Each structure stands twice: as C-alpha cells, then as structure tokens.
Structure 1
C-alpha cells in the first residue's frame, strides 16, 4: 500500500485528500491512498521523523507544522532551504526524507494558467502582506524575474525582515499609507493575507491607481470571488482566484510520490468547489 498523508493541527478542513485521491483514481494507481493525519505541535517532530514507520511514503505539511518540518528534516530542496518551511515530504532514492516547498510553484502556475497573456516583465508586482504565504510568493516572483516587488504591509519592519531573510534583491517594503504609490505602474497586485476570507474583513484599499492592464489575484478561495477580486473585475482588470494555487501546489508532490504528473482540470476545480460550498464553473 502506497500511503501519503497531510499533517496538520487541526487538519479536518484540508482539501488535500479530495485532490490527491481524485488523481489516484483518475490514473488508476493501485493500492494507493491519501489521508488526514492530525498531529499536535508537540508530536510533530517525532511523527515527521518516523513517517516510514507509520507506513507513509510521503506527506504534505500544513499549518502549524511547516517550519517544524523544515527544522526536523536534514535534507531540503533549494526553495525549502531559503524559505525555512516545508509543505511536501518525499522519499529519495536512498530512502531518506527530503523536505520541499511547492507553494510558490503553485502560485505561479495558477497565475500563468489564469492570466495567459500576462508577462512578469511588464511591471512591478505589488504584494499585500508579509506573512508565511507572502514569503513563498515573493521568492517565486523574484526567481521568475519580476523587475520589482513592492511589499505593502501594516508593519513595515516585518516586510523589511522578509526581504532581508530571503535575500531579495529587487524588493522594497512600504507602509499601508503608501499603497497608492505602490500601485502606480504595477503589472500585478497580489493579496497574500487572509483578508477577504469568509468571516474576515475585506481588503480595504483603493485600487484606482492600478493600471487597467494589471492583473489582480488573491490567495483566498473561500469565497472564490473576494471583495478585492470583485472590485478589480468591475474596474476592468483581469482577475485570478486563489483556488488554483491550492490545486497546482499539489502537482509536484503527487508526481514525486506516484511517478505520474497529474493535471489540474475543470473537473477537479468543480469537485473542490462543491466541497467548499461554491457554485461550479464552466470555463
């Protein structure tokens, strides 16, 4: 039996089993299963070290264990090493466990799929927020060749710390009061915070200074169209919702575990949309 799990606390909300078990069935992979594994923070290091003893060939890692997974594992890919956070654990050919991070890949793949005419070289990327998700996205944008990354955060010092920690060379930190200036001449606006999520306050910024041809995207996917995306769409911007990031970040792990590269399809999107209580879509 090839077993994989997602490790988190809590973890019942995770859609990862839905995604991976869909791909397992789609590709007719025998004796394979993906399941939830609720692990308390104090038990996470031991659980991660002993994945094989628990009969798992790999795992995904979600909050609050991503940094713990990085600290526990002694082998990492280049991205996880820079982020100091792991969301995917794979078994290497020599049997050792390696921590990887696919969050930035998922973000970029979703953006490219959702805004096919967008080019990263066409303007600065403006990021709202400087938390854990922002780290992965900022690194991905710089590695992809963004000419400038403007990180707007309530606490400028936190954005500055992010830039220093990741060694970003084309990024700068700005206060929320400088949002209008940050949006001028930008080609991309990204909300990396939980603002706009169901039960949270909306992103309260004026986007009128954003050039009309700029793309607006949000990592929040419940609701699928956040207040920011709705206002951007109504203003004529191309928008990309956050669901695809969840789907695309799962692709590299599945390929590493099962040897098959899965595809993010309309069918899969709709399966997850039904699960999160959102209407199905036809693209």
Structure 2
C-alpha cells in the first residue's frame, strides 16, 4: 500500500507548531487524502533534509519556521525574486522531478486581516528584525506605510533591515518608550513558548492605534490582553497563522482552504 502525499513544517524547535492542526483540519474537512506533519530540523541539517525530501515522491513541500527562514533560501530556486524583495521564505513547494521553489506566504497572511478592516496609516512600530520582520516590513509597504520604527536589541541589525526595506525611520532599544503610532506590531519571538512576553508601556498610543501581535498562543498574549484592556483594537497571531497557512495549503494541495470554518479551527487551535 502506498503512503499518502504529505507536506510538513520544519524548524528548531518545532514541537510548539500548530501548523499540522490547521492543515489536517482542512484536509479532513475537504476529504483530501493527504497529511501534514512537523519535523525537527536543526541548522546544520538543512542541506541533508532537502536532499532527502526532494527524492521522496510523496513529499509536496514544507513550511519553514524559526530559525531557517533566511538560510533555506540557499537550497531552493527563487523564480519570484523573494530573496531580493523580502529576504526570507517560509514555504517550499516541490513537484516530482522538478526544482524546489521557495516563496513567502507570511506577508500575505499578515496582510489579510488589515485588508479586511480597510486599515490605512503612514507610520508603524515593529518589534523584531529577523525573518518574520522582513516579511512584515515588506507587507507594510504595500499598504502605504512610509515611516517605520524598529525596536531591536541589535541596533545595527535593525538599521540594516530599515535600509533593506527602503523605509525612512529609526531604530530604538527596548528600554526606550514607544511613541504614538498607527500600528504596533510584535514581529519578534517574544511571547512564544519559552520566551518572555513583549509588554511595553502602551500609554503613548492613541485610541485609534491598532496592536498586532503575530505570536500565536492558546490564550491571549500579554500584549494583546494589555491592548484590549486599554480599549485598543488588537489582532492576535492566529489571524496571520491561519492566513499564511491558507496560502500555503493551496500551494501544497491545490485546493482552497475552507475559511468559513475558521471559528471551529480556532477552537481546535486553542485546545491543541
């Protein structure tokens, strides 16, 4: 009996990933005979991982999480110019006998809830300067943000990100207070399992500011909870998680994710 076609998510660590819950829920809902897994791949194992997987006829591709979103670019073809435009990938697609194609669904997943709300603004504050921040920064340009403040521990890395994204703005340390902004985004790992939360003083933000924490958790992150307590509109990480997964699902399984089932999916994610 042949095995099922499959896709997977890779990272280090990987035990926290909720991606299998999402994709397997959609596969089950749509009656598609395939599966989605998670696989622990360490930094020094990427080359061997891709070499082995591309020889597997059942492998449809993978999603990529911390810390491989930038390094994985070295092992894939990039026909869409993702390296130049964003600088990080989170999805690799594979067709039997063909090349490995790298792309990024983080940017689109991040944008979906903003576009649904018809959000507009010229300035934003973004926490983080890694692979996720690259995708978020790229997405911000497409909705009209022109001025970006980056909160980063490494000022040089933050400045390099500003320049790569061609934003005017500045880099501040975590010890510096926030200024009023249209949009505050946590695009760092702070708030993930095993990491301290990102919980700044939100008092400088006006009442119409939007707070967006891309970290997903079973419960509200402290940042989202603090924002809502102040009466601010807040988006949680499940918005981006489900949005980027839906784009990847179409790539892997050639089917549209049943987004009308999002509330049931969120309940499963909270329980997982």
The TM tier, using the shorter chain, reads 0.7 to 0.9
2:110 paired residue among 107, 114, 118: 107
| C-alpha deviation, 1:81, in angstroms | 4.1
Equivalent-residue separation in structure 1 for 2:219 and 2:79 (angstroms): 33
**Aligned pair in 2 of structure 1 residues 46, 155: CA closer, same or farther (>3 Å)?**
closer
Write out aligned runs for 1:86-235 (5 A): 86-91=89-94, 95-113=98-116, 116=117, 118-120=118-120, 122-164=121-163, 166-176=164-174, 178-180=176-178, 183-184=179-180, 186-197=181-192, 199-222=194-217, 224-235=219-230
Distance 1:20 1:170, change over 3 A: same
Q: 1:176 to 1:3 in 2, by over 3 A?
A: closer
Asked if the contact 1:45–1:72 (Cα under 8 Å) also holds between the matched residues in 2, the reply is: yes
Matched, 1:262 2:257: yes
Q: Return closer, same or farther for 1:21/1:163 CA change in 2, 3 Å cut-off.
A: same
The superposition leaves residues 69-104 of structure 1 with CA deviations (integer Å, 9 ceiling, x where unpaired) of 211113353334433322111136982220111112
Query: Structure 2: 5+ residue runs without aligned partners?
Result: none
Q: What is the number of equivalent residue pairs in this alignment?
A: 266
| Structure 1 gap segments, 5+ residues each | 276-283
* 8 Å Cα contact 1:124/1:148 also seen in 2: yes
**TM-score under structure 2 length normalisation:** 0.87
Contact 1:80 1:101 in 2 (8 A): no
Aligned alpha-carbon RMSD (Å): 2.4
Residues 1:171 and 1:105: Cα distance change in structure 2 (over 3 Å): farther
- 1:60 partnered with 2:59: no
Q: Is contact 1:192–1:218 with CA below 8 Å preserved after alignment? A: yes
Paired with 1:221 and 1:78, the residues of 2 have a C-alpha distance of: 28
251 and 223 in structure 1: CA distance in 2 versus 1, 3 angstrom threshold? closer
CA distance in 2, matches of 1:246, 1:200: 18
Name the structure 1 match of 2:246. 251
Moved more, 74-83 or 46-55: 74-83
The verdict on how the C-alpha distance between 1:154 and 1:41 changes in structure 2, with shifts beyond 3 A counting, is closer
Q: 1:60 touches 1:88 (CA, 8 Å); kept in 2? A: yes
1 CA distance for matches of 2:40 and 2:196? 29
Cα separation, 1, equivalents of 2:131 and 2:95: 26
Q: Give the match's secondary structure for 1:203.
A: coil
| Secondary structure of 1:151 counterpart | strand
Q: Tell me the equivalent position of 1:281.
A: none
CA apart distance, 1:66: 2.4
